[in-house]
């Protein structure tokens, strides 16, 4: 069965929800119906000088309506994400997806940990995980998507500047609230993932992390977005796995950070 | 509309049309067969394969630039054994020609792969003497006419399939390299590989690519590729495979008019996984529009 679809998606709505953070909902034909939490889309720019698709994670999936919610960061002036941020209801955008493996749903008591622009994909996972769960969200300063998480599960936050929640990072927030769990699902910057991998090891927890790297094709052909792995990968036959294909979600034990 | 003829002959190998994939942008096709029918392609040119597995370069390996991209993947590949067991049988399922891109760090590395492929059902070999992203081998063989001649003649002594030498644009005079390869017995030339480039992140004040430099590809380099194909077409008698920034059928036709018998589509695959198929359709549409009965009429037609 066909697993990936290239489509012209229609923008249903878009709004800015924090500095440089945009909240976009698109109507798809087939993608949403096949999508899983933790997967991503390739979004193509209309500006022909910007060749490569932008990988954007799925924040929410409505399989019945066929809609996808994407919450993304504009990375600067004259970037592809800035082009996306100017789209309004009725506009169309070429997309390819769903891509990557997504999170495997378990039943163990879980932490859903998001850092910065790694927070959005944890929302769909929070909605789908049928277990005891706490979302732990780390922000630099400005908070976003917090109410959405509070609707689905208990949520604690940390901010680097201490303006909301625990001052510090996500591990500081876990400690401040005396929280415990058996499994970690996480997405965020590499230093955070590295710290969580160590934290999980110390506390004998399972840990699944969603990784990020500069991509080109998004479908596993170009070998741009690889990560180092402990064991030799069956496909590449070297100590590399493709983040866009075998990932972006990996068992933290498999990858070297 | 069965009256137009798109097939071309590349040193004895008959391709149903002149469109093939550019090495390194298409894997061995497995990732693309979900989007495009590989049997429609003139040939699939595989990702470069070495005698042993290569880990490739550290990440980031790619960066977008205005109208193009840089890559420094560093020829990560599973090695010839896995390639022969897995990728060749996969490609044999399709009605297309198989061109294996061969890379190495030393002459011996190249020869081992060429020898290993001698009994395999592959149609042609493309020898990568132009990769700018590996420290040893690769481009080092492609920037000196004496070395081009030496490696070409060593490979030709043992190769059972026609040999394509893939040329680098990172030279003062590409025709010198083309003549050297021709003199040493190459059957065909492909050009151009990527142009060495660099991108600096001004916010972090560091190189975007871990390798510092990378090979530039994409539409921004197309005019350079057309010029070089034209120059080489005037300098040698060998058939040429033209590549460099082909995104559309128009780009492919330009390359053919400049002197290419076939064309390779690379970066376009990242922008549209069906790019090759669309280019084939576009070439046919052009031929009908201008009542070109045989595509051979277009090869090198602009002088």
The DSSP annotation for chain A comes to: ----EEEEEEEEEEEEEETTEEEEEEE-SSHHHH--TT-EEEE--SSTT--SPEEEE-SEEETTTTEEEEEEE--STTSHHHHHHT--TT-EEEEEEEES--PPP--S-EEEEEEGGGSHHHHHHHHH--S-EEEEEEESSS--SHHHHHHHSEEEEEETTSSSSEES-HHHHHHHTT---SEEEEES-HHHHHHHHHHHHHTT-EEEEE-----SSSSSSS--SEEEBSSPPTTTSSSEEETTTT-SEEETTTB--
**Two tokens, residue B148:** 């081009």
Q: Looking at beta carbons, which residues of chain B come within 8 Å of A220? A: 27, 31
Nearest-angstrom CA–CA distance, A156 and A165: 7
CATH of A103-210, one of 3.30.450.40, 1.20.1250.20, 3.40.50.80, 3.30.9.80: 3.40.50.80
> Catalytic residue numbers of B?
131
Of the pLDDT bands very low, low, confident and very high (cuts 50, 70, 90), residue A51 is: very high
Whether A254 has a pLDDT exceeding 60, the answer reads yes
Domain-located, residue B160 = yes
Whether A1 has a pLDDT exceeding 60, the answer reads no
Domain-located, residue B189 = yes
Nearest-angstrom CA–CA distance, B167 and B191: 5
Nearest-angstrom CA–CA distance, B242 and B222: 10
- Name every residue whose Cβ is closer than 8 Å to that of residue A64 and which is 6 or more positions away in sequence: none
Q: Looking at beta carbons, which residues of chain B come within 8 Å of A222? A: 24-25, 27, 62, 71, 73, 270
Q: Which numeric CATH code is attached to A5-99?
A: 2.40.30.10
**Two tokens, residue B262:** 């076939």
ipTM: 0.93
Contact B34 A4 (CB under 8 A): yes
Distances in whole angstroms, Cα of residue B128 to Cα of each of B98, B155, B227: 16, 12, 21
Q: What is the DSSP letter of B84?
A: I
The DSSP bridge pattern shows strands B8-10 and B13-15 to be antiparallel
Q: What per-residue confidence (pLDDT) applies to B134?
A: 75
Q: What is the DSSP letter of B141?
A: G
Portion of chain A with pLDDT greater than 70, in percent: 99
Number of domains into which chain B is organized: 1
Can you give the CATH number for the domain in which B179 is found?
A: 3.20.20.70
| Tokens 């137009």, residue located | B4
- Residues found in chain B: 303
Q: What is the mean pLDDT of chain A?
A: 97
Q: What radius of gyration, in Å, describes the C-alpha atoms of chain A?
A: 18
Domain-located, residue B225 = yes
- Domain map (residue ranges) of chain A: 5-99, 103-210, 212-250
Task: With CA atoms as reference, report the closest residue to B128 among B103, B107, B109.
Answer: B103
Q: What is the DSSP letter of B61?
A: -
Nearest-angstrom CA–CA distance, B120 and B107: 21
Nearest-angstrom CA–CA distance, B263 and B249: 10
Output the pTM of the full model.
0.95
* B227: containing domain: 8-298
Q: What per-residue confidence (pLDDT) applies to B133?
A: 73
Helix (H, G, I), strand (E, B) or coil at B111: helix
| Tokens 């194909």, residue located | B229
Helix (H, G, I), strand (E, B) or coil at B172: coil
Of the pLDDT bands very low, low, confident and very high (cuts 50, 70, 90), residue A2 is: low
Contact B270 A52 (CB under 8 A): yes
CATH of A212-250, one of 3.40.50.300, 2.70.50.60, 2.10.240.10, 1.10.760.10: 2.10.240.10
| Cα within 13 Å of Cα(B212), Cβ side | 2
Nearest-angstrom CA–CA distance, A168 and A170: 7
Q: What per-residue confidence (pLDDT) applies to A188?
A: 97
Contact A51 B271 (CB under 8 A): yes
Whether A246 has a pLDDT exceeding 90, the answer reads yes
Helix (H, G, I), strand (E, B) or coil at B177: helix
Q: What per-residue confidence (pLDDT) applies to B2?
A: 59
- Nearest by CB: A2 against B34, B71, B79: B34
The whole-angstrom distance between residue A26's C-alpha and the CA centroid of its chain comes to 17
Whether A62 has a pLDDT exceeding 90, the answer reads yes
Portion of chain A with pLDDT greater than 90, in percent: 98
Contact B56 A237 (CB under 8 A): no
Chain A closest CA to B261's CA: distance in Å? Answer: 26
Nearest-angstrom CA–CA distance, B165 and B258: 19
Q: 10-residue block means of pLDDT along chain B (303 residues)? A: 87 97 97 96 98 96 98 96 97 98 95 98 96 73 93 97 97 97 98 97 96 97 98 98 98 98 98 97 98 98 95
Contact B31 A245 (CB under 8 A): yes
Q: What radius of gyration, in Å, describes the C-alpha atoms of chain B?
A: 18
**Chain A: residue whose CA lies nearest to B268:** A51
| Tokens 């004040």, residue located | B205
């Amino acid at each position: 069965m066909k697993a990936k679809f290239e489509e012209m998606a229609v923008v249903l709505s878009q709004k800015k929800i924090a500095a440089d953070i945009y909240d976009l909902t698109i109507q798809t034909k087939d993608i949403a119906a096949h999508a899983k939490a933790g997967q991503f889309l390739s979004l193509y720019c209309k500006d022909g000088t910007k060749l490569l698709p932008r990988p954007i994670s799925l924040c929410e999936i409505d399989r019945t309506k066929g809609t996808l919610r994407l919450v993304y960061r504009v990375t600067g002036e004259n970037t592809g994400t800035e082009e996306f941020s100017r789209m309004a209801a009725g506009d169309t955008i070429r997309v390819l997806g769903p891509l990557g493996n997504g999170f495997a749903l378990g039943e163990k008591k879980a932490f859903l940990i998001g850092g910065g622009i790694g927070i959005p994909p944890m929302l769909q996972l929070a909605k789908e995980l049928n277990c005891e769960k706490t979302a732990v969200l780390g922000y630099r300063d400005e908070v976003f998507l917090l109410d959405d998480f509070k609707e689905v599960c208990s949520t604690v936050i940390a901010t680097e500047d201490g303006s909301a929640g625990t001052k510090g990072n996500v591990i500081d927030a876990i400690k401040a609230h005396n929280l415990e769990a058996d499994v970690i699902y996480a997405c965020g910057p590499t230093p955070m993932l590295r710290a969580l991998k160590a934290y999980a090891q110390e506390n004998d927890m399972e840990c699944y992390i969603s990784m990020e790297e500069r991509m080109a094709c998004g479908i596993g052909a170009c070998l741009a977005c690889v990560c180092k792995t402990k064991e030799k990968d069956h496909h590449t036959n070297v100590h590399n796995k493709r983040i866009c294909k075998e990932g972006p979600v990996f068992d933290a034990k498999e990858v070297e950070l | 509309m069965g009256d137009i003829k798109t097939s071309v002959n590349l040193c004895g190998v008959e391709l149903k049309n002149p469109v093939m994939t550019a090495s390194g942008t298409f894997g061995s096709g497995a990732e693309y067969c979900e989007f495009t029918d590989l049997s429609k392609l003139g040939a699939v040119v595989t990702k470069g394969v070495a005698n042993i597995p290569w880990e490739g370069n550290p990440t980031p390996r790619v960066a977008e630039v205005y109208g193009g991209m840089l890559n420094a993947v560093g020829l990560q590949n599973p090695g010839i054994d896995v390639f022969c067991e897995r990728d060749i049988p996969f490609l044999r399922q399709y009605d297309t020609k198989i061109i294996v891109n061969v890379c190495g760090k030393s002459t011996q590395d190249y020869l081992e792969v060429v020898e290993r492929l001698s009994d395999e059902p592959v149609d042609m070999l493309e020898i990568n003497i132009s990769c700018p992203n590996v420290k040893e081998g690769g481009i080092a063989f492609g920037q000196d006419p004496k070395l081009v001649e030496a490696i070409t003649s060593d490979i030709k002594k043992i190769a059972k399939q026609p040999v394509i030498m893939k040329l680098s644009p990172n030279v003062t005079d590409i025709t010198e390299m083309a003549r050297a390869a021709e003199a040493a017995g190459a059957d065909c030339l492909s050009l151009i590989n990527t142009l060495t480039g660099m991108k600096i992140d001004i916010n972090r004040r560091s190189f975007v690519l871990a390798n510092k430099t990378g090979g530039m590809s994409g539409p921004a380099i197309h005019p350079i590729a057309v010029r070089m194909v034209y120059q080489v077409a005037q300098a040698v008698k060998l058939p040429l495979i033209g590549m460099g920034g082909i995104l559309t059928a128009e780009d492919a036709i330009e390359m053919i008019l400049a002197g290419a018998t076939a064309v390779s589509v690379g970066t376009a695959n990242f922008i549209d996984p069906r790019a090759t198929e669309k280019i084939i359709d576009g070439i046919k549409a052009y031929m009908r529009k201008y009542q070109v009965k045989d595509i051979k009429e277009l090869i090198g037609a602009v002088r």
